[in-house]
Amino acid sequence: MTGAPRWIRILHEDDQLLVVHKPAGLVCHPSKGDAASSLVGRVRLHLGPDSTPQMVHRLDRETSGVMAFAKTHEAALELRRLWHSGFVSKGYLAIVHGHPCADAGLVDAPIGPDAGSPVAVRDRVRPDGARALSRWRVSRRWERPEGAFALVHAWLDTGRKHQVRIHLAHLGHPLVGDKLYGADPAAYLAFVERRLTPEQRATLMLPCHALHAHRLWFPWGGVEREFVSSPEPMFRSFLEGRIVPWQDDLFDPRKPSEPLSEDGQ
């Protein structure tokens, strides 16, 4: 309908499958906010009130990028089969602190709960954790007044919670803007409790951590499909050497949700 609000950026849609770009800062699952305060809610607004979209994978709140939804029960069963059978490949872009010594590598480091952390959702590398494998490659190294940085491509052979973030931090190169696995262990709770200081914001440099799920591959309808999403403006601005102004939480559940702007952000 002409003039109707646009709640999601669509990358692909057919009778069975909907692939969208998830904005950084938007939660996947329904929250206490309005109908558009989660990605699932926005997908329902797009598909209609009688729709039952099914999410078979997820991204962290601050991670942007490609996500797939099943529009029917049969499609959901097929997507889950593909995920559980290892037929799905996910590619990420990450901006990290420092210059990795090697140009590429494999992290084979098990992940489990961080029992010593005051943050319940925080995990870490631990010998008794679940096996986790990440492949990575440096695409670019550069320096800014704030320090040295690198753009890293990462591919997951397993799908553990926070895997890319934990493995890159384990290598000594945490994500720029990561409140949970970055240099300041107090940043996450300060953010949740809405008391981030100017100093903490300056250390983070970005309002959302610099991780983007840019590619998703899986067979669909007998054809190998690839879905691609471009990084968001703040990610690109940091890459280009610009200062990224701090933005308040764009998807704060205390505020009414807004449709996408004309450029789809």
Catalytic residues: 60
The answer to whether 93 and 73 are in contact (CB under 8 A) is no
Q: How many contiguous H segments (helices) and E segments (strands) does the chain have?
A: 6, 12
- Cα–Cα distances (Å) from 56 to 8, 28, 84, 92, 156, in that order, read 18, 11, 10, 18, 16
At 42 the three-state DSSP class reads helix
Cβ partners under 8 Å of residue 63, min gap 6? 22, 24, 209, 211, 212, 213
The answer to whether 118 and 189 are in contact (CB under 8 A) is yes
- Cα–Cα distances (Å) from 121 to 7, 23, 85, 86, 228, in that order, read 29, 21, 27, 25, 29
- 264 CB-side CA count, 13 A: 12
Cβ partners under 8 Å of residue 66, min gap 6? 11, 19, 20, 21, 22, 213, 214, 215, 216, 227, 228, 229
Q: Rounded to 5 degrees, what are φ and ψ at 164?
A: -60, -45
Q: Which of 233, 264, 257 is nearest to 247 (CA)?
A: 233
